[in-house]
Structure 1
Amino acid sequence: MNISRMDVIYARQSVDRKDSISIESQIDFCKYELRGGSHKVFKDKGYSGKNTDRPEFQKLLVEIKKGTVKRVVVYKLDRISRSILDFANMMELFQQYDVEFVSSTEKFDTSTPMGRAMLNICIVFAQLERETIQKRVTDAYYSRCTKGFHMSGQAPYGYRLEPTVVEGIRTKMMVAEPEAAEQIRLMFEMYAEPETSFGDITRYFEEQNIRVYDKSLARGYLSQLLRNPVYAQADLELYEFFKSQGAAIINDPADFAGTNGCYLYQGRDVKEDKDKSLKDQILVIAPHEPIVSSDVWLRCRKKLMNNTAFQGGRKAQNTWLAGKVKCGNCGYALKVTHNPAGYEYLRCNKRADNGGCKGCGTIRKNEFEQFVFTAMCEKLREFKLLRGGEEKVNPKLTALQVELAQVENEIEKLLDTLTGANATLLAYANSKIEALDTNRQALTKQIAELSVETVSPKQIELLSGYLDDWENVCFDDKRKVVDGLISQIRATNDYVQIEWKI
């Protein structure tokens, strides 16, 4: 059967600017090249040429693979791609399906070796132009950093943003929120005391019903807040400290008069953990007023530098159930703790943070791990009996698993945004998480039902082998087995609910 092949115009515009050619103008140029012949138009507005992740361009590729495209016409080479690798792959595809490629302003003929060579040379320069633009953006960013501009994003807790002008350029400056600023001072003053811990502060805030962005103060968030020099009085004492730590200080010592706050930006050459090292980070005087004296901030910072006990992590890395087991009451992760007698228990992380949950009760780690191991063995035996038959493949299961991974990723991202979120964002994130969790549970159930028919005998044999020799299986392999069988465990000392993947 003969398939009629058509001419195609492709146009792309990443940003609508006065100095950029519009999509409509690009199409007019391409129409002139076609001399009024019939054609189909594909256009992507608001998409960069750095990759091929563009909806209309992907539709064009589908048409090419169907064999319905005779010729692709563009206004200019970089409208279709700015990547050498992407362009090379496209040219290979065009040749495979006998598709001509025409640039209306550059007059390339891809049917000749010289034409292909010229195209590759041009794409090199297109990529060079993109990398040059990226460098200019980076240079502009660091130039604005050194002048003390606010570099986008919401203000840290304790401040709000207000418009201002710095060196004739409109920007924003931070203004202290009185009530939140008092809470900031309290956090710093409490932690500056030698015997005060993160837990002491978070428990006090919980007992006094003091909320940060309408939620309980968590130790991880407190740890990050106390490290932020944006709250500190920028005086000579602060200057000397950052200088001794290897930071790049933009202002002269005379500018550290104690009347302003400061910004700390990550420098270009920073390779170490920015929370642990200040080397090569950029310190600059900022227009806002400080909340905390340099003396108090420095006492806290030096105490933090010596505090190796708290790492801010939420996963219990000394159990192979890490990341899977949650408190049955609040949903926070359970972590491993030790009592003086040497026993290990699973405790609710939220209760440990600030006492905001009644906890999961007494769950001994070794006994709980044995319980889950037994449950996995039993589940696998049931699965073998239900499955029977030969190996099957179900594309629907693969699609559901991909969808589940995307949903879980969305939930993780939303949970990350809750730290430091304002009331509006908090309400939105909570409602979104609730909807996503309902979807996640439905997907998990569908996957469990379909998996009975689709998991291969080899996978069953591998998992069974691990469970049969569990005592000799390494920690990482135990984690893999749990990840292959279990989506999530919610537990208290009264009940255990396991969400299975099979």
Structure 2
Amino acid sequence: MDIIREDCIYARQSVDRKDSISIESQIDFCKYELKGGSCKVFKDKGYSGKNTDRPEFQKLLGEIRKGRVRRVIVYKLDRISRSILDFANMMELFQEYDVEFVSSTEKFDTSTPMGRAMLNICIVFAQLERETIQKRVTDAYYSRCLKGFHMSGQAPYGYQLEPTVVEGIRTKKMVADPETSQYVKLMFEMYSEPETSFGDITRYFEEQNIKVYGKSLFRTFISQLLRNPVYAQADLELYEFFKSQGAAIVNDASDFAGTNGCYLYQGRDVKEDKDRSLKDQILVIAPHEALIPSDVWLKCRKKLMTNKSFQQGRKPKNTWLAGKVKCGCCGYALKATHVPNSEGYFRCSKRTENKGCPGCGKIRKSEFEEFIFSAMRARFKNFQVRHSREEKVNPKLTAHQIELAQVEAEIEKLLDTLTGANATLLAYANKKIEELDTRRQTISKEIAEMSIETMSPQKEQELSYYLDHWDSIEFDDKRKAVDGLIISISATSDHVQVEWKI
């Protein structure tokens, strides 16, 4: 059965003012474009155009994604969006689903050559705005880097943040955490020994039941921590090392007095692997005291530079299930192993790292992949059957809609009390309205999310193709299929539990 596509009118009004056009008037203008034709109306009252978090607008987008909309008509462009970025993204969606867009008062019609030209101009300006904002943020970040500011985020492991003032500007300063700073020192002391490996450190921490952020220590964490000069006492030896590696050093050599740590920022021109090359990275003396003597830090750093066996960031090719499978015993990732001329297995990463998990047993890679693929096909087939049935009323959606109406009614009552109210009552009413408005926005967002279809027709068609041609599609396409269907998998040798997206 073919889907009937219809014309839709969208109207929005932030607040009732004498100088603003009402929603009813907007709809009348739009209906004139239809010359008496039928349409479906979506209207948001009391919502700003600064973003797209509007319940009726989200319903409209949901209808578009279902392929049910032929044309969208608005009174003016700013009724649908005041953000050129949102507008450009919306236009991309319209193009994807072959939806025409008409502004009744501005004669902006994407079914005409002039309308499409205007669309392209809007997209150009959207790109310009994106790049301008990015440039402004980058310049501000770079400027603060040069002055040694703490650049947001939590403190590195071993430190905690305290308020301070740098050049008259309030920021935060790192101070040593009494407990975790001792573990940082232990990691550096152990790795500075020539024969000590990451595995030796993780096993020691596990045997001593020392947790990092409440979890077992992993080799990737150690690798990142040992590279960070935030822990190193900045003396002349450290200065000469970074200078020899091509880093851009902001401070004079005389500032490297051997007490403070350093911040290392990625410079604008860094193109190489920032974990393995220091070229063009920016080194700044930081206001906090360092934890590790420079000679110990340098021993570890130089040892890391010669460590060729530990590589990160490699694209997983052993299995298309990479990143989705967790150990059913400890919850850590199961990684696929590959040994030439031998059958591959899924093994618990925690057990591999530090023997901290009793293990989930042997899970043969080929058998497990075949099992998951069969489950994916069955799940998707069931989804298509459910998807094809007539949509039923969602009780949760109905409850949200009732609650939204109640909240809006309460806001209206409070607004009525503001006329002629005394200062005490005004303060109470305004505070209550703010609380209710926050709740209204939350409910509206939930309604919008529940009203939108979980999977577009294009996505459904794509997944269907992948599953029907599994043996011939590329590895990356198999990864896309898994991402489209599965959130995560918990597995042992005798139990599998899949958390589905559909």
Question: What is the aligned partner in structure 1 of residue 54 from structure 2?
Answer: 55
1:234-286 superposed Cα distances (whole Å, 9 cap, x missing partner)? 11111111122222211111111112111111122222222122222111111
Question: What is the aligned partner in structure 2 of residue 81 from structure 1?
Answer: 84
Cα–Cα, structure 1 residues 116 and 479, in superposed 2: closer, same or farther, change >3 Å?
A: closer
Between the aligned partners of 2:309 and 2:273, the Cα distance in structure 1 is 17
1:162-214 superposed Cα distances (whole Å, 9 cap, x missing partner)? 00000111110000012211110000010011100111111111111212122
Question: What is the aligned partner in structure 2 of residue 490 from structure 1?
Answer: 491
| Contact 2:327/2:491, CA 8 A, preserved across alignment | yes
Question: What is the aligned partner in structure 1 of residue 156 from structure 2?
Answer: 156
Return the letter of the residue paired with 1:81.
Answer: I
Residue 498 of structure 1 deviates from its aligned partner by 7.1
| Contact 2:327/2:348, CA 8 A, preserved across alignment | yes
1:393-451 superposed Cα distances (whole Å, 9 cap, x missing partner)? 65369x9xxxxxxxxxxxxxxxxxxxxxxxxxxxxxxxxxxxxxxxxxxxxxxx9xxxx
Between the aligned partners of 1:196 and 1:182, the Cα distance in structure 2 is 18
Q: TM-score, normalised by structure 2?
A: 0.62
1:461-501 superposed Cα distances (whole Å, 9 cap, x missing partner)? 645xx4xxxxx999779989999999747234xx3547598
Map 1:120-159; keep pairs closer than 5 Å. Answer: 128=128, 131-159=131-159
Map 1:298-313; keep pairs closer than 5 Å. Answer: 298-312=298-312
Map 1:320-339; keep pairs closer than 5 Å. Answer: 322-323=322-323, 326-335=326-335
Gap runs ≥5 in structure 2: 1-5, 27-42, 392-453, 455-460
Cα–Cα, structure 1 residues 55 and 270, in superposed 2: closer, same or farther, change >3 Å?
A: farther
Return the letter of the residue paired with 1:32.
Answer: D
Between the aligned partners of 1:369 and 1:258, the Cα distance in structure 2 is 52
Cα–Cα, structure 1 residues 396 and 312, in superposed 2: closer, same or farther, change >3 Å?
A: farther
1:378-399 superposed Cα distances (whole Å, 9 cap, x missing partner)? 989x97xxx9xxxx765369x9
Establish whether residue 395 from structure 1 lines up as the match of residue 399 from structure 2. Answer: no
Residue 308 of structure 1 deviates from its aligned partner by 1.8
| Contact 1:9/1:41, CA 8 A, preserved across alignment | yes
Match for 2:105 among 100, 107, 113?
100
Question: What is the aligned partner in structure 1 of residue 360 from structure 2?
Answer: 360
Between the aligned partners of 1:483 and 1:123, the Cα distance in structure 2 is 30
Match for 1:32 among 19, 26, 38?
19
Establish whether residue 280 from structure 1 lines up as the match of residue 285 from structure 2. Answer: no
| Contact 1:8/1:73, CA 8 A, preserved across alignment | no
Between the aligned partners of 2:327 and 2:234, the Cα distance in structure 1 is 43
Question: What is the aligned partner in structure 2 of residue 71 from structure 1?
Answer: 75
Between the aligned partners of 1:244 and 1:231, the Cα distance in structure 2 is 20
Question: What is the aligned partner in structure 1 of residue 232 from structure 2?
Answer: 232
| Contact 2:109/2:116, CA 8 A, preserved across alignment | yes
Between the aligned partners of 2:338 and 2:83, the Cα distance in structure 1 is 60
Q: TM-score, normalised by structure 1?
A: 0.62
| Contact 1:315/1:323, CA 8 A, preserved across alignment | no
Cα–Cα, structure 1 residues 61 and 359, in superposed 2: closer, same or farther, change >3 Å?
A: closer
Between the aligned partners of 1:177 and 1:370, the Cα distance in structure 2 is 47
Other structure's SS at 2:288 match: coil
Return the letter of the residue paired with 1:99.
Answer: S
Gap runs ≥5 in structure 1: 12-23, 103-107, 400-446, 448-453, 467-471
- Determine which structure has greater relative contact order: mean sequence separation of CA pairs < 8 Å that are 6+ residues apart, divided by chain length: 2
Question: What is the aligned partner in structure 1 of residue 216 from structure 2?
Answer: 216
Cα–Cα, structure 1 residues 47 and 353, in superposed 2: closer, same or farther, change >3 Å?
A: farther
Between the aligned partners of 1:114 and 1:379, the Cα distance in structure 2 is 50
Return the letter of the residue paired with 1:354.
Answer: N
Other structure's SS at 1:296 match: helix
Cα–Cα, structure 1 residues 299 and 378, in superposed 2: closer, same or farther, change >3 Å?
A: closer
Other structure's SS at 2:76 match: strand
Cα–Cα, structure 1 residues 129 and 57, in superposed 2: closer, same or farther, change >3 Å?
A: farther
| Contact 2:10/2:57, CA 8 A, preserved across alignment | no
Between the aligned partners of 2:274 and 2:197, the Cα distance in structure 1 is 22
Cα–Cα, structure 1 residues 369 and 90, in superposed 2: closer, same or farther, change >3 Å?
A: closer
Between the aligned partners of 2:499 and 2:9, the Cα distance in structure 1 is 51
| Contact 1:9/1:42, CA 8 A, preserved across alignment | yes
Residue 332 of structure 1 deviates from its aligned partner by 2.6
Residue 117 of structure 1 deviates from its aligned partner by 8.2
Residue 287 of structure 1 deviates from its aligned partner by 0.2
Between the aligned partners of 1:125 and 1:457, the Cα distance in structure 2 is 37
| Contact 1:315/1:333, CA 8 A, preserved across alignment | no
